[in-house]
Structure 1
Amino acid sequence: MLRFIFYLHLLLCVNSAGGSAPYTPTDYILLDCGASSSSWNTQAEDGRKWFTDERSKFAASNSESASFASTASRQDHSVTQVPYMTARVFRDQFTYSFPVSPGLKFLRFYFYPVQYSSFDGTTSFFSVTANNHLLLNNFSASLTLSVEDGQPASLIKEFMVPCFETEKLNVSFSPSPNTWAFVNGIELVSMPKNMYVNHQENSLTLVGYKVPFDIPDATAFETVFRLNVGGKTVGNVDDTGMFRTWLDDSDYIFGGAVGNTPSRGKNVTIKYSEDTPAYIAPAIIYTTSRTMVVDPEINMNFNLTWNFSVDAGFTYLLRLHFCETQLEVTEEGQRVFDIFINNQTAEHSADVIHWSGGNSIPVYRDYALIVPTEAQSKQTLWLALHPSKDVGSKFADAILNGLEIFRLSKSDGSLAVPNPQPEPAPSPTLPSVGRKKKKTSVSPVMVITITVFSALLALCLIICFLIYKRKVKRVKDSAVSVQKSSWGQLPCPSNSTCATSVSLLPSDLCRRFSIIELKEATLNFDDQFIIGSGGFGNVYRGRIDGGSTTVAIKRLDSSSRQGFREFQTELELLSKLRHVNLVSLIGFCDDHGEMILVYEYMHRGTLRDHLYKTKNPPLPWKRRLEICIGAARGLQYLHAGVKHPIIHRDIKSTNILLDENWVAKVSDFGLSRLGPLFQSHVTTVVKGSVGYVDPEYYRRQQLTEKSDVYSFGVVLFEVLCARQSMIPGLPKDQVNLARWARICYARGTLENIVDPNLMGDISPLCLQKFGALAESCVRDEGTARPMMNDVVWGLEFALQVQEATQRDMDMDTGGDEATVMSSSQTSSLVSKGAAGGGTTTSTEDDNEELFSVSGGKVSESRSTISSVGRSDGDRIKSESVFSEFKNDNGR
C-alpha cells in the first residue's frame, strides 16, 4: 500500500511538471542485507520498503557458513539506518539469484565501510560478478571513499547489467585472500527498453572518428557521473521511477568561468515527446541549466568547461541533456554552440530548438569516447561548450541541463578498475597550546634566496599564462573561426544531424569542389560519361584542372535521401586514409544540396570486369594472384595498419578497382564501420551484398574483421572460378559460390570448377594452396578463419609457388615432369584421385622438400618439381591447411 501511495505521489509530481507518467519498473527488489528476520521489512527515510535477506529466496548459495549478519558499531550523521547499519558478511563466495525479465537492469550496491560487531569493513577487499560481467575486482569501499571530496561515509556503486539471454541475474561476492566481503544493501530496478542502448543504425557518434558506433547487447555499464547541471542534487525519489540520483555539478566546473544558472520563465511546463519520454530524466533536470555570462564578447573568449577523472582503457558513453526554457530563446538559430569532448569536436553548431522543435521540449544527445590506456591509470575527461561563430545566432551563448557519463564493459565483460591510491596525509604538527614559541631569525642569505626564488616563480607563471593564452587562441581559431560549410543544405534524414565539420578536413588531403567545376568536368553530368552506377548513384568520368587530370565522380541520386550517411562515412574515412591499395579520395562537393565524391580514376575498371560477362580478355593466373595480393594488403591496412581498425563491410569484386598498371585498390567505403577496440564485435544491422555477407554476421548481427575475411574469400573463389557469387538458376548446392566451392574442396574436386581459361596456366600445388586459403576464409565460424595478415602471407606464398613452378618449367626441356599441366593431364589426375587408387609418384615427400619457408619467403630446393599426387591433396585438406594458420588469431 505504501509503495502504491509512493508511486501515486511520483505520478502527480511528474504530471504537474510535464504531463507524462513515470516509468513503473517490472523488476523492483530492495534487500536490506544483514537485517534481522524479525524486521522482515523496514522503511527507509525516503519512504521505500526494504526486505531482509535473512533466509531470503534470493540467496542461492547452499552453505550457511558462507555468510553471517553484522551490525555497524556507529552511525555517521550522513547515513540512514536502512540499509547502512546492517551488513551481510561473506567468508567465501556467496551468490544471490534474482529472477528478472529480459533487458538491462539497474544494479546498485550500498557500502558503509566502518567497524562492525564482528569484522572491520575498512579492511575488506572483494570482487563482485553479475552473470558474466566482472563488476568489481579486489574492491575496497574504504579506499574508494578516501579520495572522495569531503570524505563521505557511505558509497553507492551503480551498474547496468544486461539480462537478454537469461531470466536470472546471479550476483556473486568473492572475498580476496585473507579478508572478507560485505554489502549493506542491494537494489535491482528494471529499465525501459532502449533507454541507453538503441540499435537504430547510426544512433551514436564516436568522438574523434565521426563514424557510427553501436553498443552490443552484451555490454554492461557503470554509472561514473550523473549531474543536474545548474541545480541542486536530485534524490532518487524525485527521479522518474528508476530511483537515480542526480548530483550538483558545481564540483566539476573547471576554473572560475562557472557561467550562469538562469531561472526558467514562470509557468513553464516541460513538454516530453516520443523521442524524449518522461523517464529519460525528471522535469527538474530540464528546468535548471547552466549557461554562459551575459556579455557576448566575454563568452567568445572562454569555454563553459567541466572536467572529470576517469579510468583509462575503456569506452565511455556521455549523454548530454538539453532544454530551452528561457523565454528569450524560442526560435532556431538564436543559441548555437559547439561541443568539445577531450579537446575533440563532438558536435558543430548545436541548436537545441532545432533538435527538439520548440521551447520547453527536452532533448538529449549521446556520444561515445575511447579513453586509451596510457602511463596513468586515471585520465581527465573534458567537456567544453563554446558559442559557434559565423552562424548569425542572436545569443553568443551555450547551455547544458544535465549530464550522464557511463563506463562500458570491455570485450571480456569486465568493468573492474584498480582501487584509487589515496594521497599521503600531511605531516602532523604539534599543537601550539601550552607551548612557548621559539623565536627564529632569518639570515640575509635566506632572504635573498627566497626573493630570487619568488621572482623566478612569478616569471614562470607569467610564461605559462602567455603559453596558455596562445594555445587557447589557437584552439578557438580552429574551433570557431572555420569557414562556414553548406552542410545545412544537404538532404539529411529527418532524425539525423548534418553538423559534420567538412571544413575541418585537411585541405591537402581533401579538396572541396564547386558544383560548377564538376559540371564542367562532366559536361553537366552527360550520360556519355557514366562509367558505373550503384545504390548511391551514377559514377562519371571527368576531367579537372583544365583537363589535365582524369577523375571518377560519384554523384548521389538527387531523388534519394538514403546516401547521406554513406557520403559522410566515406568522406571522413578516405580523407584520412592513404595506402597504395586503397582508392584515393581527391575531394568532394556539397554545393546546392549535392553530395558528390571525387576519386582518382581507375583506368581498368573493376576486377569483375575482367572475370566474367565481359569482352575483356581473360586474365592470366599470375596477374590474378597479384591483384588478390594487392586487395588483401588494402584490407590488411584497414584492419591492422590504422589507429583504430576499420571493417569495410562491402568487399566484392566490383569494389576492387584496377589502375592502368593493374594495381588493385579497395573502394566504396560507404558502409564501413569502425571495428571493435574493447569489444569482440560491433552489433549492427546487416548490410552488404548478397552472396558476400558473412553468414555469422547475418545470423547474429555481430560484425567483426572476420566478416571482411569471409567476403574476401568469396572474391578469391570468383577469381579462381570466374563466376558470380550467386546464380539462382543452378541446383541448390551450386547457387552460392562459397558453399559450392567448399563442397568441391571437401570432395577433392576443386579442379572441376576452376575457370577453363586457367587450364595449363595454374600449378596444381599453387591451386591447392590457393584453394585451401580461400576455403579457410569462407568457413561458417569466424574464429576458424584466418586474419588478413595471414591471408596476405598465404597469397604471397601461393604466388611464389607459382613463380617457382614457372621457372622450373622453363628449365625443363623434356616436359615429362612439368608441373604446369595441360587440361587432359589435370583431368587424368582428378579421375585417378577420385577413384582412390591412382597416385603420381615422386622420389621424396614433395610437400616437405619442394620449398623451405622462412619469414614468408619461399626458396626453391630442387631443380625439378614432380607433379602433385593425391596424397598431397589429402594432406593439404587436413585441419591445419598451413602450419601458419594453427593460431587463428595470426602470427
Structure 2
Amino acid sequence: MEKLHFLMVLFSLLNLQFPSFLLLSSASTLPSKYFINCGSVSNISLSGRKFVGDLNLGSFSVGSSSAISDVTTNSSTDTSLYQTARIFKNQSSFDFDITDFGIYYVRVHFFPFSSGRTNLADAHFDVSAFNFSLLSDFRIKDNSNSPLIKEYLLTINATKFSIHFTPRGKSFAFVSAIEVFLLPDQEFVSDELDLITPSGLSNHRYHGVRSQVLLTIHRVDVGGPQNNDSLWRNWIPDDEYLLSRESAKTCVPYEGTLNYDVNGANNYSASDLVYKTCRELNLDSSKGSSNSSKITWRFGVSSRAKHLVRLHFCDIISKNASDVFFNLYFYGNFTHMISTNKISDLLAAPLYYDLVVESDDSGYMDISVGPRQDSKNKTAYLNGVEIMEFMKESSLVDVPGNGNRSRVFVIVGTVCGVAFVFIVIVLFFLGIKYKKAKQGDDGVGSWPVFHGKDTTSRKGRANASSIRSLNLKLKMPLLEIQNATHNFDPKLLIGEGGFGKVYKGTLQNGMTVAVKRSDSKHGQGLPEFETEVLVLSKIRHRHLVSLIGYCEERSEMILVYEFMEKGTLRDHLYDQNEKSKRSSKRSKLSWKQRLEICIGSAKGLHYLHTCSHGGIIHRDVKSTNILLNKNYVAKVADFGLSRSGPNDPDNCSVGIKGSFGYMDPEYFRSLQFTEKSDVYSFGVVLLEVLCARPAIVNSTKREEMNLAEWGILWQNKGQLENIIDPLLVGDINPDSLRKFGETAEKCLKGDGANRPTMLDVIWDLEYALQLHQTAVHREPHEDTTTNAFFVELPLPDSIPDWEDNDLLIGGEVDGSDTTDSGVFSQLRIDAAR
C-alpha cells in the first residue's frame, strides 16, 4: 500500500497522466488509438495525434535503461517524437488489445541516433506481424535528417495484435514510435479486384485482398505539392516519376468544393489537394497524332511481386461531365477504359480505381494514361497514385508467448539528471506492478502489452498448418466470413459438433452457406481441419457436401460448405436426446424417400472408395454426417477423420477413431480401417433409417442396447417388420423390406471380407426401391435374389439419378469405372449371382 501511495505521488510530481481513448463512434470520427512514443515517459501531441510514452503504460519488463544529455539532429520535422527509442536484445513484441475488428493502418517509425557506445544505425533485425514478414534482414542508414516510417494496411480480426521484433545474430532491434489505428472507412478496399499481369489484363480476378498485409511503397500527388491528409498519410510530388515531362502539363488547381461520396471516394480516400491537382496530356507536345500520345510514370517496385495499385481521378478539367474518357495502360499494354463520370454527371467528384498488379523482373512498373478516339475531348489525366506491395508470409513466431520476459534497454534523449532518477524509480515500481499483474490477467486495460522473449529463434507455430503451402483456390478472408455470419451472431447458430459451432451465413454473391468454426473446447482441431480441406478440395460429387471455402487466418480455423436446408438425416428420424420415443416434431419421410437417401449416401461413399486419389475411407459414417438439401438429396459430410486408403500408415493408430455404435468390430481387433469398415457403419445407418432409433440406447434389455445386434436378431427371426418405425407401417412393400434387411445384414457381417462393396450395396438398394415401386405377386418364401425373380423385374434402361459421370477430380472427369456403361455391366454380373 505504501508503494502504491508513493507511486501515485511520484506520478503527480512528474505530471504523468494515463490517457483514456474513445472507441470510434461513427465513420466520421478520427481514430484515437494506438499511438505509442517508444522508450519514453513523455506524451507528445503531433499533428492531431497523442503519442503516449510506453513507460507510462506499466505493461512491459525493463531490465535497465541508459540516458544521453543531447540529441543532435538536422531534421526539418518535429523531432520531439524521435528523441527516444526502445531497444530489443532478444525476440520481443508489442501486443495490442483489439476491440474493433476491421481494416487498420499500422505504422512503425525508425529514427537512428547515437547514445554513448550504441548507434541505432547498427541495428540488424526482422519485424513481423501475424504470419507476415513486415521487414526482413532490415538495416537502416544513419540518416538524422528525417525518420523512416513503414506503413502497412491490414485486416485485424483477432482480439490480440502483435508486432514482433527479432534481432539478427548478435545485433539488436529498435523502434521509435508505433501507430495502430482503425480506419474510419471500413469499405476502404475490396476483397476481389481485377488482376493485371505484365502482359496485360488477366482473365482471372484476384480474391483475398483483405487477407493480405500491404506495405505502402509509393504515395504520389500527381501534379501537386507534398502534403498530408486527414489520416496522416504523406503525399509527395510526381516529378521524379514522370518519364517525359513534355508529355504532360500541370492542371490549373481547382478552387471549388469537391463532390465527395458521389463516385465512391470520400474525405478519407486522399487529401483535397490530391483531387484538386492533376497532370493532363500535353497535346501541343505530341509530334504525331494526339491519339497515340500518353503520359507515363515509372515507379520502382519489387521484382515479381503483387501490388495493390490505387489510381485517383477527379475531373477538374472538363466543361461537361460526359466529355472525357480515356485509356489506362500498364507496362504499355491497354487494360481499362477510364470514365470518371460514369456514375454521376457531376464534375469534381473524386473516385479511385483499385487493381492488383503483378510486376515483372525489371524492378519497375510503368503506368500510363492516353486518349481515346471516341472521346469528345481527346485527352487524359491522373490525380494520384498509391502502390502497396503484398507482404510475404514469415516463419517467425506470430503468437505472443507466456514465457520469461527478455531484458529491454531504453535509450532516452534530452533527459535531465533529476528527471532520470525519478524515471528509474517509476520503472522499478511499474516492474513490480507488472509482474504481479502477469500472474493474473495479461494486459492493462485496452493498451498494448510489451512482450520480450529469451529465445532468438523459434521452430514455428506448434499448430502451423500444412495447407498454407498449397495453392488452394478455396481460401477465404476472415472478414468476408464475419460479414456473412454477422460476426458469428448467436441467432444464426444452427448446430454444434465435434469440430465446433455451425452458423448459417450469406456470402456477398447471395449464396447461403454453412460456416463451421473451430472451437478449442471441442476435441477436434487442426488435423481434422487440414484433412477436411485437403479431401474436399480434390473431389466433387453430387452426393458429397461441397466445400465452398476455408479460412485459416489468425487463430481461426473455419470451413464453409454449401448450405443443406433440411439438416441431418438423424433430424428426420428421431430426437437424439430421447431414448426410445420419437420426436413429434420430426418430418415424415416416406419409405421411398428413405431408400433414395440411402442410395444417394451409398453413391457418395462408393465414389470415395474408388476415386483416383487412391481411395478415401470416411471413418465416421453415421446419420448425423449425412445431410439433406431442400429436395432431400443426401450428401455425405464431415471428412475430418478421412484417410486415403488402407495403406495409409495413419490408418493404424493407437487412438480409437469413429463413433461408438457405428464402429466395425474388426477394427477393435486390428485397429486397421478399410473400406469395409465404412460398409459396416453404413449398415448401422440402414437400420437407423428403418427403425428410427439411435445406434446405442440405454435399456434394461441387453439385446436392445446396440442397434446392430438388435436389428440382426430380428432379421434372423424373419420378423424385421416388428421393429420398424411405426410411421412406416403399411408403407413398405414386404419384398422391398426383405431385400433391405438382407442388405443391412450383409453390411454388418463380423468379417469384413464377407461384407459387400458399396457398389454392391447401391445395387441392392436400387433393387429394393424397384421392388417397392413394382407390384409383383410373390410367394413369402421366394428368394428375392434368384434369377427367376430378376427376369420378372427387368432393369431400367439407365440407372436413375446416378450422375457419376459428372464427378470431377482436380477439374477433370473421373476415369474410374463408375460411368453408366461400367456400372451397368457390373449390375448385370451381380444380378446373375
* TM-score normalised to structure 1 length: 0.45
**Structure of higher RCO (CA pairs closer than 8 Å, 6+ residues apart):** 2
* TM-score normalised to structure 2 length: 0.48
